[in-house]
């Protein structure tokens, strides 16, 4: 392939990728279809499910975009390898993160442990402990399920309103670049106590093997207070 042909080929790939990206963006911007007029409204006390994906997305289109850009980055036989890896990374755009929270210890138990260690309760709400680990193993297969499990220990302040706790998960690639991120409100945490949280998601097929990092971060009233980084080995 001469340089002129190669340039035209690369331009075609880039143009196709841009076109698909615009189509995907338009698709993602369309809101979810509302229930019909006769549907019963949600009660005022009902709580929105935390298992809903971050956005509506066309997984197939995202994978194609990633594949085209991966092919553009490759050379010679590397076009096929780049396309396969790019498709996997592109599909991460549409990753749906499910989030669950359950209480392990109540506020009184957490307060007792805190006072035993520090002598008195804090005036402000405090995240006293935060640990994270991949379950059941830190080695996962491309196309398989991943579960990041964390434990958050919250001590309610003696002069503070109930805390607003949320948790953020960020997937970082072997090259150190951010691939995907999601933030979920831990609405079940309304007071002090110790809580177990789970971020569950699927890794797309075709994602490149290697050492990734899963960063988890707990936020209180919108401000980050604790961060964990967990290595994740992806194998084909």
From the CB of residue 105, how many other CB atoms can be counted at a distance below 10 Å?
15
Residues 24 and 61 in one domain: yes
Pair 88, 185 in one domain = no
Instruction: Tell me if 165 is assigned to some domain.
Output: yes
Residue span of the structural domain in which 70 resides: 3-28+49-93
User: Does 155 share its domain with 170?
Assistant: yes
Determine which helix (DSSP H) or strand (DSSP E) holds 109, and give its type and residue range: helix 107-118
In a domain, 34, yes or no: no
Task: State whether 117 and 230 are in the same domain.
Answer: yes
Q: Is residue 41 a part of any domain in this protein?
A: no
Higher-pLDDT residue of 60 and 145 is 145
The verdict on residue 60 lying in a domain is: yes
Looking at the 3D structure of the chain, how many domains does it have?
Answer: 2
| Sheet of 210-220, strands arranged across | 139-141, 223-235, 210-220, 165-172, 178-185
Tokens of residue 25, six digits: 């963006």
Residue 80 has pLDDT above 50, yes or no: no
pLDDT-above-90 percentage for the chain: 55
Query: Are residues 107 and 58 part of one domain?
Result: no
Which SS3 state, helix, strand or coil, does residue 20 take? helix
Query: Is the residue at 53 inside a domain?
Result: yes
For residue range 112-141, list pLDDT tens digits in order: 999 999 999 999 999 999 999 999 999 999
CATH of the domain at 214: 2.60.40.3880
Do residues 114 and 224 both lie within one domain? yes
Taking only the tens place, the pLDDT of each residue in 42-59 is: 333 333 334 444 444 544
Residue 231: which H helix or E strand, with range? Answer: strand 223-235
DSSP string for 139-163: EEETTSEEEEEEEEEEE--TT-PPP
User: Is the domain of 65 the same as that of 124?
Assistant: no
Mean of pLDDT values over 63-67: 44
Say whether both 57 and 69 belong to one domain: yes
Answer yes or no: do 66 and 176 share one domain: no
In a domain, 24, yes or no: yes
For residue 72, which of 7, 14, 15 has the smallest C-alpha distance? 14
Residues 79 and 11 in one domain: yes
pLDDT, mean of residues 94-111: 93
User: What is the pTM assigned to this prediction?
Assistant: 0.67
Give yes or no for residue 20 having a pLDDT over 80: no
Q: Is 43 domain-assigned?
A: no
For residue 128, being part of any structural domain is answered with: yes
Domain boundary among 93, 112, 146: 93
85 & 101 share domain: no
DSSP for 183-218, written as a single string? EEE-TT--SSEEEEEEEEEEPPTTPPPEEEEEEEEE
70 and 147 assigned to the same domain: no
């Amino acid at each position: 392939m001469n340089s002129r042909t190669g340039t035209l080929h690369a331009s075609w790939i880039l143009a196709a990728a841009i076109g698909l990206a615009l189509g995907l963006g338009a698709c993602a911007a369309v809101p979810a279809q509302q229930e019909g007029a006769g549907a019963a409204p949600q009660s005022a006390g009902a709580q929105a499910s935390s298992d809903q994906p971050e956005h509506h997305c066309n997984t197939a289109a995202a994978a194609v975009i990633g594949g085209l850009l991966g092919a553009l980055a490759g050379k010679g036989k590397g076009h096929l390898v780049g396309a396969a890896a790019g498709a996997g990374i592109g599909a991460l755009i549409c990753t749906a993160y499910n989030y669950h929270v359950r209480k392990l210890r109540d506020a009184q138990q957490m307060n007792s442990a805190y006072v035993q260690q520090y002598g008195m309760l804090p005036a402000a709400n405090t995240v006293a402990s935060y640990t994270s680990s991949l379950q059941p193993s830190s080695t996962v297969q491309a196309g398989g399920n991943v579960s990041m499990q964390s434990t958050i220990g919250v001590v309610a302040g003696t002069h503070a309103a109930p805390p607003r706790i949320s948790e953020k998960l960020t997937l970082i690639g072997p090259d150190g670049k951010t691939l995907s991120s999601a933030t979920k409100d831990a609405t079940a945490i309304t007071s002090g106590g110790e809580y177990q949280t789970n971020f569950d998601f699927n890794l797309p097929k075709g994602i490149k093997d290697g050492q990734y990092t899963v960063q988890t971060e707990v936020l209180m009233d919108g401000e980050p207070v604790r961060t964990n980084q967990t290595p994740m080995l992806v194998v084909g």
